[in-house]
Every structure is written in structure tokens, then in C-alpha cells.
Amino acid sequence: MPPEDPTVIEFDVRTDEMLVNMGPQHPSTHGVLRLVLRTDGEIISDVQPHLGYLHRCAEKIGENVTPIQFIPYTDRMDYLAGMNMNLGFSLAVEKLCGLKVPEKAQVIRVLISELNRIASHLVGMGAYGLDLGTFSPFLYAFREREHILDLFEDVCGARLTYSYLTIGGAHDDLPAGFTKRVRKFLEYFKPRIPEYHAMLTDNHIFVKRTAGIGVLSKEMALDYGCTGPMLRGSLDRTTGDPDWDLRKTEPYSGYEQYTFAVPLPPYDRAPPGAVIGDCWHRFYVRMLEVVEAVKIVEQALDKYDALQAEWEKVKAELDPEVSRDPKGPAAAKQAELLKTKYAHRVEPPRTLSPGECYVETECPRGQMGFHVVGRPAKENVPLRVRARSSCFANLSVTNELCKGCLIADVPAIVGSIDVVMGEIDR
């Protein structure tokens, strides 16, 4: 029976909060992430991320295999930056064992992991475009990423899960002519960067979707443990914030020998409406890091070529003597030089040292930490392996960022965090 008073009908219209499920296979959640949004009309009041769809018990596996056997599992954490994951875990084990890596291996590591950083940021940029409804940047990004994957295929045979950087160095030397091909790629790549800026950075629609959205203050970022581009997008050079990048603050693998900048806001290019800590700044930090990574790769290439030439010279000097007396002092000197400087890998110790250590490296998505505990009764299987995921901490701030924004802004915010679920769920 219809009510007599028409105003009653208006009171009957539901205006209470609604729970909206987003994911787990929503294209703009970057993998299998499920968000439960509590909304009042279009306004979000609460976001609860539900994780664990990609949980593969990597830490439990780590307690049952030797460190070298665990390297392939690290690939599958952040599968867009497998090399950086390999590097982080190798550094943790090396620190525990007190293993020193030869100079050439370090140069290879820097070269390869910076190339991987470029590839990873390209996916981050392209996928971010997809989140916001533009398809073409994705294709452009994948065009360039394809070249990097081809280079990696030359190096180790794999295109995604490399297991190339391993404990003691890298499992093979770079193939002949590799540095030449990388240089060729960089010459091809560098003029392409302005294209991305034209497509996204300065794009009016992109700016409208990202500038001033999801503002993360520095204090909040630190409180939630955000690192990497996520934190750097919220820093401000004019207030004296440090160059917060582990490659600068706690250099590893010889990063202190490379000249590169840590791009911190404020930026001259910031469009009107953009404030420090918003989605646009997080995106732009990544774009600038690509440029810095190119600089590091160029320096690493020069270093590698110089080391190779040096080694050829030393080898040519010592070879006649070595062939005359394969067990003499010249051969010993050659072996020593290889081990300390010119080898791509040194043999790791057969057992892990007792004790524990925690090492963090600067991965494309933030600070990835590995904690390795060796057994007191010297064994090769660690007692505990722990992977500290950067995205895990970065994602935990989603709820704070999304409060009060529109449903349409959720993909923009989650996309700007650039999460990889494989790393979060491990």
C-alpha cells in the first residue's frame, strides 16, 4: 500500500553506506588484490585491502633450501624487477658469510639491475596509463621494455625470472658485444623519453586525474614505512630533506663510484594544481629515475669495458709465463687478480655462517629487505629467511590516501603506488 504522505517515500530512499568490492581480478588493481570500499554515494570512507591471493610461502621455502636454490624464488617476488630481487638476497647472504665480490661482478650487478629498474619503471608508467584509461603509453613502454628483455635474454636466457645475479657475483659473464648492444639501445631509448612526457606528464587529462589526488605527507609516509619513489614523491628539497635513496645513503655494490642525482620535488615541470606528495609527483619521480638509471648504466658500461681491456692486457702479459709453468707464481697471481677484481663470480662458502643479518637494497618499488639467519651448527640451509616487501608497507597507506576521495580516484591512487602483488604476498 503506498504511503499517503509523499515525503515518506523520500525517507525510504536508501542513503546509508554501501560496501563495494573491487577485485581480486580488477585490471587496475595490478594483480590479484581485492579492495573492499565503504562508500557514501561516490565518496569513499574506508578502503580495506585484502591480500594473500598470491601467497606462495616463499619464507617457508627459504628455510628448507640452500641460499643458491632460493635465488629463483626471489625472482618470483617482484617479477617485474627480478634482477633487483636477486641482488638483494645475494647481498644479504654475502654479508652474513663475509664474502667479498670482485669489482667486475659489482659492475655487472649495477649495470643489470639499473637496466631492470628502467624496464620496471616503464611497466609502472605504462600500467598507470592503463589505470587512467589511456592505452597508448602502455604500448610505447612495452616497445622499449622488449629491447631490455631481449638484452637480458642474451645475458641469461630468461626474459622474466632471471636468477642471473647470484651469491658471489653473477652466474655468467656478459656475452661478447653486449656493451655495444646496450649502448645502441640507450641511443635508441633516450630520445623516446620526451614521448612519454608528451603522452602522460603534460597531458591535460592525465594531470586532471592525478594532480592534487591522494596527497601523502612526509610524516604519514614515514609513519607507514613507505619507501622508494612513494616516499621521494612526498619529500621537499627546499625544506632540507635528505637524498633518501639507499644507493646514496648506504651504498652497496659500489654505487658510491657513480654520479647520479636523487630527483626530489619540487619540480619546475609541476602543473598547476599539483602538490608535493600527490599521484602526479609519485609518477614523475619514477620518470626522472629512469633518466638517472640511464646515466648509471652508461657509467657502468664504461667501467666494464675498461675492466675488460685491463684484464686483456694483464692476461697477455702473464699468459706466456703461465703456459710455461701452469703452477708457478704467475698463475697464482693471475688467479688472485681474477678473484679480487676481474672475475664475474667467486665461489661462495659451502656453509652459511652462524648469526643473522638484515640487508636492504633500493629496488624500483622501494626498499626491499632480506633477513637471513644462519644456523649455529654450521649448515647450508638457513634457519630463517625473511623478505621485507616494500610494496607491503606502501600499500598499507591506501586507506589513509583514499579517505574522502571519489571511487574513480581509487585506481589513480592504487596505480600511483605501483604495487606488484607477487612481492606483497610472497
Residues forming contacts to another protein in the complex (CB under 8 A) are: 51-52, 55, 57, 59-60, 63, 95-96, 222-225, 227, 242-244, 248-250, 354-358, 360, 367, 369, 371, 373, 375-377, 383-384, 386, 388, 392-393, 396, 425-426
Share of the chain residues as helix, strand and coil, in percent rounded to the nearest 5: 55, 10, 35
The amino acid occupying position 234 is: S
Q: Are 132 and 426 within 8 A, CB to CB?
A: no
Residue among 152 and 224 whose Cβ is closer to another protein: 224
CB of residue 231 to another protein, shortest distance in Å: 9
Neighbours of 424 (CB within 10 A): 28
Report the residue count for the chain: 426
C-alpha cell at 239: 625544506
CB of residue 371 to another protein, shortest distance in Å: 5
Residue among 210 and 353 whose Cβ is closer to another protein: 353
3-state secondary structure at position 301: helix
Residue among 44 and 51 whose Cβ is closer to another protein: 51
Residue among 223 and 312 whose Cβ is closer to another protein: 223
CB of residue 358 to another protein, shortest distance in Å: 5
CB of residue 303 to another protein, shortest distance in Å: 24
Of 204, 394, 359, residue with least CA distance to 286? 394
CB of residue 138 to another protein, shortest distance in Å: 30
Cα–Cα distances in Å, from 56 out to 65, 418, 422, 425? 15, 21, 9, 7
The amino acid occupying position 43 is: I
CB of residue 208 to another protein, shortest distance in Å: 30
CB of residue 383 to another protein, shortest distance in Å: 7
Residue among 183 and 386 whose Cβ is closer to another protein: 386
Residue among 52 and 194 whose Cβ is closer to another protein: 52
Q: Considering all CA atoms of the chain, what is the largest pairwise distance in Å, rounded to the nearest integer?
A: 112
The amino acid occupying position 184 is: K
CB of residue 254 to another protein, shortest distance in Å: 16
Of 134, 181, 131, residue with least CA distance to 153? 181
Residue among 117 and 388 whose Cβ is closer to another protein: 388
Distance CA 168, CA 155 (A): 17
HSE-up (13 A, CA, CB side) for residue 422: 12
3-state secondary structure at position 119: helix
Peptide bond into 24 cis (omega under 30): yes
CB of residue 354 to another protein, shortest distance in Å: 7
Residue among 60 and 143 whose Cβ is closer to another protein: 60
HSE-up (13 A, CA, CB side) for residue 342: 17
User: Hey, which residues does 373 pair with through a beta bridge?
Assistant: 356, 384
